[in-house]
């Protein structure tokens, strides 16, 4: 899981100067729990550097809990006007998974800008 996530992020950053700029602005810790296969990783964004740890290495600012079949759906969200666009087919699928509990995201209100930045860097679109 750590290698797959690292590859996705690396490809997105190399392909897009805008995503690279957002990546350099990220200073946060993200914990991702894949519940059905009991795997966790930590993404530690350090302003242009990324450390990926197996397991939860330190307390995350943003936590995502999901299943293996839905974790990569998060990378398909379109970006419109700098924000996640949830009104197309992929966006509606993500909203449905949030509604039915297949995707759960936890962040404090002051971390919402980092949630948006994370979404922009993870998205293979935009």
pTM of the predicted protein model: 0.89
pLDDT confidence of residue 51: 95
Q: Which secondary-structure segment (H or E) carries 94?
A: helix 89-99
Q: Which of 81, 63, 56 is nearest to 118 (CA)?
A: 63
How many other β-carbons are positioned within 10 Å of the β-carbon of residue 34? 18
Average pLDDT, the chain: 91
For the chain, list the domains and their CATH numbers: 2-122 (3.30.1050.10)
Q: Dihedral, CA atoms, 87, 37, 121, 97, nearest 10 degrees?
A: 10
How many whole angstroms separate alpha carbon 83 and alpha carbon 124? 14
- Interval 36-75: pLDDT, tens: 999 999 999 999 999 999 999 999 999 999 998 888 888 8
Checking DSSP bridges between strand 62-66 and strand 27-34, what pairing results, if any? Answer: parallel
Is residue 126 scored above 70 in pLDDT? no
Is residue 125 scored above 80 in pLDDT? no
């Amino acid at each position: 899981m750590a290698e797959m996530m690292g590859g996705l992020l690396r490809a997105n950053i190399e392909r897009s100067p805008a995503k690279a700029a957002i990546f350099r602005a990220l200073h946060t810790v993200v914990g991702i729990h894949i519940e059905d296969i009991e795997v966790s990783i930590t993404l530690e964004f350090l302003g242009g550097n990324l450390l990926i740890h197996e397991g939860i290495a330190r307390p995350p600012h943003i936590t995502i809990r999901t299943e293996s079949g839905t974790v990569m759906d998060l990378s398909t969200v379109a970006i419109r006007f700098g924000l996640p666009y949830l009104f197309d087919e992929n966006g509606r699928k993500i909203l449905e998974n949030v509604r039915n509990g297949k995707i759960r995201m936890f962040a404090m209100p002051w971390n919402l800008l980092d949630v948006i930045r994370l979404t922009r860097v993870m998205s293979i679109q935009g």
